Structure formats: C-alpha cells, structure tokens
Structure 1
Amino acid sequence: MDKKIPTESLLDYYARTGHAITKDHLPITSEVGHFNVRMTTVCTRKTPFNRRDYFKICICTGSERGFGTLIYDDREIQLNQPSIIFTNPSVPASIEISKMSRYGCIFNKQFIEGQMSPDVQYASPLFNPTLFPVIAIPEEEIDRVNGYFAEMQRLQESDYPFRWDMIRNILQLLIHEGIRLQQQQVVQAGVVRDRLANTFFSLLNQQFPVDSPENSLKLLTPAHFADQLHVHVNHLNSVIKKSTGKSTRVIIHERIVTEAKALLRNTSWNVAEIGYALGFEYPSHFNKYFKQFTAVTPMEFRSNSAAVPVL
C-alpha cells in the first residue's frame, strides 16, 4: 500500500497537460530553478485534486459570472469575477474553469528561493496556506496585471541573456500586487504581523504537509513552539493573540485539523496512522479531538468526502 500523499511533480504536470519543455524554458533540473508562463483561451478540464512540488499563479478574466470553481483543501470557491489565484504547493487543490482566458505561470522553489523576505512570504497566499488564495482584480487594474504575465512570456521567448533575472523581478512585483490587493479588500488587522508572529507561523507551516505516517508532528503545543523560538510561552501567546485575535493553541488546533482533513480525503492511511502522524499516540484520542472540532468522527468525515468526489 502506498503510504505517501499524491504530489504532482513538474514532470507529472508536463505529462498530464501534454505541454512540451522547449528551448524557451529552463530545464527542470536546472540549478537556478524552472519557470514557465503561458496563455490559454480554451475551456479547461478539471485538474486533478492533489498537492504539487511547484508554485502556481494564474489570472482568470472570464466575462460571465460562475466561470469557474476552485477546490482548495476543504473549501469550494466560486470564481465569479476577474481574479489572481495563488496556490500553495502544500494545499491540495483542483480547478475547473470555462468561458475564460487566462495566463498562468509555474515555477519551483529553486527559481524564487532567497528572493522574498519572510515578512513578504507570510503576507502572500502563495507561501502562506492560511490566507485566502483568490484575490479579486478591480476592472481598472486588469490590463496592468495581465501585462506582468505578457511581459514574462515575451522575455521567456526572447534571447536576452539575463531574461530569467528580469522575470524574477516581475514575478516579485506580481506577488506584491497580490498582497496589496488582498490587504485593500479584506480588513485584516495585522496582516504583516509582528516578527515573532511571522516566525511562529513559519515554524508551524514547516511541519506540513505530513507525507508519511512514520514521521509524526513534534510541535503540538504553545510551549513546544515557545521553546523553539526561545521565548516565554506567555509572551508568545500575547503576541499571537494581539496579531491574530486567536490564541496560539487555537491556531495550532486549526492547522492540525486542516491537515487531518487533507489526509483523510487524499490518502489510504487508516485512522490510527493518521492520528499517529499528527502526534496522537492512541486512535481514541485522535477520534475525540477530531470530533471536538468538526462534530463528526474521522471515519464519518472520510465517508462523507468519498460520497461527493472532487475529481
């Protein structure tokens, strides 16, 4: 039995889509990373619901309401207006879009590594899976945002020797545009939070995705995180509460439950294996914990998810 969560690699992506890796693209094995941008104007089939080992940003500019649906972890998000979609590799996702045109770019960690500060990464849904992945684009800004993709494509197809450096710069602009638009549209106190809060969330997210039942979570309580961050647990709790309006414990619980749902939906692991992977020594403890936050048992959640397939 395969004990790994399905993760689509870049090679899997190209095999699935039938797109060729041409001389205009950096090789997947390149030390400086891989990048590709393209435009499509045809209806797309629903993509597989899985995690990926690459980042993806796309802009959808359909002219009719209800032109697409994004399944993002346990959320179904209707795409009803021009939007930028930032998908984090660790979050299982599937998208179905019709009646639209869109640009999309994919790139791996090596391509963008070291380019964005931790504070910027925390404020972007591309790197922070706790943020909403779909950001509406005001009508007056659609052409400008589309222009970023068009320019990256023009550079990709050019023979300018430093085109990848220019593309990285434009990609950073695009990520910043997403942060700016999201902060304008959503009143989120402290989106760019205290540095300790940013470090806490970075440490929390580093534990995910859980990819094997043999490797259980180690940081499960506020005290565990405080020890790693070399601060008193009361200080950590105070900073997190001020930054988010939630307690440290609640945030940890929410992230564990989110991962539990993904594992129940996307793996063949049994409940005991999932519980152990999430730090529970006994299945009964995991069952009680999961039901406390979801009102159903892990098996009930798995059965309900299987009854309404997302693929």
Structure 2
Amino acid sequence: MSSHQDLNPQELKLKGFKAYAVDTAAGPSHDYRRRDFYKVALVTSPCTVHYADRSLPISGPSLMFANPHIPYAIELHDPRLTGYSCLFTEAFMKENDRSESLQQSPLFKVGGTPVFHLDGAQAAYAEGIFQKILAEQRTEYLYKGDLIRTYLQLLIHEALRMQPTESFVQHKNASSRITALFLELLERLFPVESPGQAMPLKTAQDFAQQLGVHVNHLNRAVKEVTGKPTTAHIAERVITEAKALLHHTSWSTAEIAYSLGFEYPTYFNNFFKKHTSTTPLAFRRDAERVAEA
C-alpha cells in the first residue's frame, strides 16, 4: 500500500479533493489527522474515535465520515494505521447540486453516527472504490471530478444502506476528553495566514457551541484538568500568535488586530499590554532590534 506522504494540502485547496492510501509505517500521519476538510475514510486498523462526550471503538474494517464542524481525535491501538482516505471541500461535493442527498447522509448529519462497521464483502467493495478514486485522480480526464464525486456518492449510499454502529461508550474521564478536544480546536485556528482571515471562534461560548457542550460544562472541565480557565487558554494562544505576527510579518497592528478577532485596534492594544506589559509596537521594535543584533 502506498503512503500518503505526497499529500499536498494546497493541491486539495485548488482541486477540491485529494485521496490517498494511509500507512503510518511509511511515515508520520499528519495529513491523515487533518480536520479542516470533509473526509470519507476506510479504516482497517484498530483505533478509537473520541468526540467531546463519547467514544467509538473500531475493531475491524469501517467506513468513517468526518465533518470539519465536529471536532474529534483518533486514538491508535496499533503502531501502524492503515486504510484509505479522501479529503474534499463542501463546494466540491455540491458542484453537481446533490446537496439534498448529502444533507441526509452521515457525512453532513450533525449528531449522527459517523462510523459504519463493514463485513468482508463490504470492505472489499469500499477498498475497490478507493482504489478507483486513487487511479482516477492521477489521470488527465477532463471530467474526473464528476467521476470522483460519483465514487464518493457510492461510498455514502453504501453506508446509508447499513445500520449505524451504536457502540458508543461514555468517557470515564469526560473532563479530560472535552479539554483535549477544546485545546485541539483552539490550536486549529492557527497559524493565521492572511490579514483578512478573522478568527471565527473568540470566546468560551463560541468554543462550547462548536463542541456541542454547555459553556459552564466546558469551563468546569478545562479548569479541572488544567487548573486554568478556558479564557486563559484562549488569551495565551492569541498572545502567542500576536507575537509571531508582529515579529515575522509586516502587517499593521490594525490588520493583526482584525485577524485575531478584535473589532478595534485599541482593544487589541489594551489586550496585548495587559498580558505582556508592553504595547504591540514596542514589542515589534524590540524584536527587530534583537534580529539586527
């Protein structure tokens, strides 16, 4: 099985999709852990998929559907993770105006069951489709996007015909799991790559809503596990990114303020000074002097 190391995230952004074989024995699986695109995966190694308030163990071949709006984490039970995966944007799947079918699928259904266990015949069928997708994306066929969408639809409808797995288990330590997913969701907002890219999540309430838990529940869990409130984690990460942008870009403080979710530059200045005891401009000047020394 080939590795997925040749996955180029920029290529996905240009074409709207990217398929690859997964084999962590051939290298690190950073791309497999990407959470910013929709995903259909054939998982053939034992693992557990963790969500904010539940976990789903996978012991055999399974189809997994992931939505970028639903944070999750994968715990491996074997050093080697194998299978296939296809990442794609929502725009790619909606190009043929099949949104009605997708809205009813486990891929788009918030609160649904996103993992389907396969028997031998179903696993062979799914693997055959992934192999066709892998082969098709390497061709110069003008309409290969349409063909790949059709293959993805076959995987989606194969899952719709099956009963979803219901073996969810509650976490023995839900606070730890919620905290881990909160921190992952927070980290996913960075780095900020454009001054026109504003942070979509700014408050504890924003994060709680994205995780599907009450804000008080999130705050209690994070404080219990880390000893610090949710707002402190958010502030620390924003300050870290602000310092990086001041040091490594030529963006104005107003542009940095906007990209980090501040409505006005003065709010950003006050926030930065509160947490660093200096102003953004003073920090930038000091960083430039150190670089020139």
Q: The TM-score by the shorter chain falls in which range?
A: 0.5 to 0.7
Partner of 2:204: 274
1:89 aligns with 2:72: no
Partner of 2:40: 57
- What amino acid maps onto 2:160 in structure 1? I
Partner of 1:37: 19
Q: CA deviation at 1:278?
A: 7.5
Q: Residues 236-266 of structure 1: CA distance to partner in whole angstroms, max 9, x if unpaired?
A: xxxxxxxxxxxxxxxxxxxxxxx99965884
Q: CA deviation at 1:117?
A: 4.1
Q: TM-score, normalised by structure 1?
A: 0.51
Which whole-Å CA distance do the structure 1 matches of 2:206 and 2:58 have between them? 37
Q: Residues 10-30 of structure 1: CA distance to partner in whole angstroms, max 9, x if unpaired?
A: xxxxxxx85353xxx994453
Measured at CA, do residues 273 and 261 of structure 1 come closer, stay the same or move farther in structure 2, by a change above 3 Å? Answer: farther
Q: Which consecutive residues of structure 1, in runs of 5 or more, have no partner in the other structure?
A: 1-16, 187-258, 280-288
Which whole-Å CA distance do the structure 2 matches of 1:125 and 1:117 have between them? 15
Measured at CA, do residues 177 and 116 of structure 1 come closer, stay the same or move farther in structure 2, by a change above 3 Å? Answer: farther
Q: CA deviation at 1:45?
A: 5.9
In the alignment, is the contact (CA less than 8 A) between 1:51 and 1:91 conserved in 2?
no
Q: Residues 32-61 of structure 1: CA distance to partner in whole angstroms, max 9, x if unpaired?
A: x42111112334767699983311111012
Partner of 1:155: 136
Q: TM-score, normalised by structure 2?
A: 0.53
Measured at CA, do residues 19 and 80 of structure 1 come closer, stay the same or move farther in structure 2, by a change above 3 Å? Answer: same
Out of 66, 76, 83, which is 2:55 matched to? 76
Q: Which structure: greater helix fraction?
A: 2
- What amino acid maps onto 2:204 in structure 1? I
**Which runs of structure 2 are paired with 1:1-311 in the superposition (5 Å)?**
19-21=6-8, 27-30=11-14, 33-43=15-25, 52-62=35-45, 67-97=46-76, 98=78, 99-115=80-96, 117-182=98-163, 266-267=185-186, 273-275=203-205, 290=214, 297-306=217-226
Q: CA deviation at 1:104?
A: 0.7
Measured at CA, do residues 130 and 51 of structure 1 come closer, stay the same or move farther in structure 2, by a change above 3 Å? Answer: farther
Measured at CA, do residues 28 and 39 of structure 1 come closer, stay the same or move farther in structure 2, by a change above 3 Å? Answer: closer
Measured at CA, do residues 260 and 303 of structure 1 come closer, stay the same or move farther in structure 2, by a change above 3 Å? Answer: closer
Q: Residues 93-112 of structure 1: CA distance to partner in whole angstroms, max 9, x if unpaired?
A: 22244345201111112211
Partner of 2:262: none
Q: Secondary structure at the match of 2:24?
A: coil
Partner of 2:263: none
Tell me: higher relative CO, structure 1 or 2? Use CA pairs within 8 A at least 6 residues apart: 1
How many residues are paired up?
194
